Structure 1
Amino acid sequence: MERVPPGQRVTERFPVLTYGEAPRVPPEAWRFALEGLVETPIALTFPDLLALPQVELTRDFHCVTGWSRLDVAWRGVRTRDLLEKARPRPEAVAALVESYGGYTANLLLEDLLREDVLLAHTLFGKPLPPERGGPVRLLVPHLYAWKSAKWVRRIVLLDHLELGFWERLGYHWRGDPWKEERFQEGPIPAASLRFRSKQT
C-alpha cells in the first residue's frame, strides 16, 4: 500500500504553519471541555489529562500545502476514550473543535472515534511546544493537518455539520488526503442538512 497520499512530497523538516498570532497558554491555565450533545459533559485541567490512560503512537502527518512528515511520534489521550465517558446522544453526528485564539475546525463524530485520534501533549518525547499547539492539540492523522487543531480547548458535539475556519474559506469540509480533498468543489451536502439520526 502506498504510504504517501497523491500530491504530497516527503520532507524531513516539520514546518510550522499558523494563521495569525500563536496563543500562549501555560499548562496550568489550560482547560478543556467536551460538551454539546453528550449525556455527561467533561471538563479537564492539564493534570486531569495526564492522569487519564495515555497512548503513544507514531503516525505520518500530511499538510494540505503538499508536504508530508513520516513517523511522527505523539503521546496523549484518545478522544474515543473521552467520548465513551461522555456518552454521545444518538443524534450527535459531527463536532466543532474550538481552540484558544479563536480557530475552529469541523469533524465527523466517526473521525473522532478512531483509535489514533488524540488530545496530544507530547511530540517526539518532549512536551508539545507552543508553536506546535502546546500544551495540547488535537491529532487527527488520517485527515489533512488543518483538522488537527492546535491549542484545543473545546469539542462540541452537534446534530449537524457546522463548518470551521478554513472550511468557511473554501477548504474541503472533510479533508481526506487520500482523496485529495483540499478545496471544496460544488455543494456541501452535509453542511446545510440538520441530521436527525445517524441514518439520515
Structure 2
Amino acid sequence: MHYGRVPTFRPATWRLQIFGATASGEQHFLTWDDFGQLPRSTVLADFHCVTKFSIMGNEWTGVPASAFLAAVPPADGVGHVMIWAEYGYSANVRMGDFDRDSTLFATELDGKPLSPERGYPVRAVVPHLYAWKSVKWVRAIEYLTEDRRGFWEDRGYHNVADPWREQRYSYQEDPGEGPP
C-alpha cells in the first residue's frame, strides 16, 4: 500500500536532502553515487502494518540511519526527524527511534533490489514501529528541534506508532506522545 503513484527513478538527477537543524546550519545533498558510498548494513526484522497484519523475518539491506547522523550531524536539541518522500509524503520519528541500529534506508529486501512498489530506490525502515513510519521513495531527512506530525499523523494516526502498544490512532496518545 502507498500514497500516490509509483515514481520513476532517475539516478542522474536523484538527490537526498538533509536539512533543518543540522550542526552546520546548512542543508546538504547526496547524489545517488554519494549515497552508494555510505556504509551498508543488514537487519533482520518483522514488518507490522497498522491494518493488523505482520510479515515476519524480512532481511533489509541498506544504509543505517547512523551513517547520516555521522555524515551530517544534527544540531544540539534535535529530538525528532521528519522523513520526506516523493509527493510530499512524510513521517515523523523520535530521534531515539531514528538512531537505533535497526533503522536503515533500505535498497534491498531479502537479497534483491527493492521493487518500485516497495519503495525503490530507497525506503526508510523503522522496524520496531508501524510500517507507515517506514517511508517509501525517500528524498529528504529533516532534523527537528520540535516535534511535528507527518502525513498520516496529521490525519489521525498515532504520533509514536509502537505496534506492541497498539498505538494506531491519535486519540490513544498519552500526554507527551504528540506535538504540543
TM-score (norm 1): 0.82
Q: Tell me how large the CA RMSD over aligned residues is.
A: 1.6
Summarize the alignment of residues 40-189 of structure 1 with structure 2, pairs less than 5 Å apart: 40=24, 41-185=27-171, 189=176
Deviation digits for residues 12-62 of structure 1, max 9, x if unmatched?
Answer: xxxxx1123222223333210122111244421222122111101211111
Give the Cα–Cα distance (whole angstroms) in 2 for the partners of residues 181 and 84 of structure 1. 30
Q: How many equivalent residue pairs?
A: 177
Give the Cα–Cα distance (whole angstroms) in 2 for the partners of residues 55 and 149 of structure 1. 18
Deviation digits for residues 108-146 of structure 1, max 9, x if unmatched?
Answer: 111110011111111121211111111001010000000
Q: Is the 8 A contact 1:74 1:120 kept in 2?
A: yes
Deviation digits for residues 71-123 of structure 1, max 9, x if unmatched?
Answer: 11111011112102222111111111110122111111111100111111111
Give the Cα–Cα distance (whole angstroms) in 1 for the partners of residues 11 and 109 of structure 2. 15
Q: Is the 8 A contact 2:63 2:104 kept in 1?
A: yes
SS state at 1:164 partner: coil
Give the Cα–Cα distance (whole angstroms) in 1 for the partners of residues 43 and 162 of structure 2. 20
1:190 to partner: Cα distance: 5.2
Structure 2, unaligned runs of 5 or more: none
Structure 1, unaligned runs of 5 or more: 1-16, 194-200
Residue identity (%): 40
1:192 to partner: Cα distance: 3.9
Give the Cα–Cα distance (whole angstroms) in 2 for the partners of residues 58 and 18 of structure 1. 23
Give the Cα–Cα distance (whole angstroms) in 1 for the partners of residues 177 and 145 of structure 2. 11
Deviation digits for residues 134-165 of structure 1, max 9, x if unmatched?
Answer: 10010100000000000000011111111011
TM-score (norm 2): 0.91
Give the Cα–Cα distance (whole angstroms) in 2 for the partners of residues 191 and 180 of structure 1. 16
Letter of the structure 2 residue corresponding to residue 18 of structure 1: H
Of the structure 1 ranges 105-114 and 17-26, higher mean CA displacement relative to structure 2 is found in 17-26
Letter of the structure 1 residue corresponding to residue 138 of structure 2: V
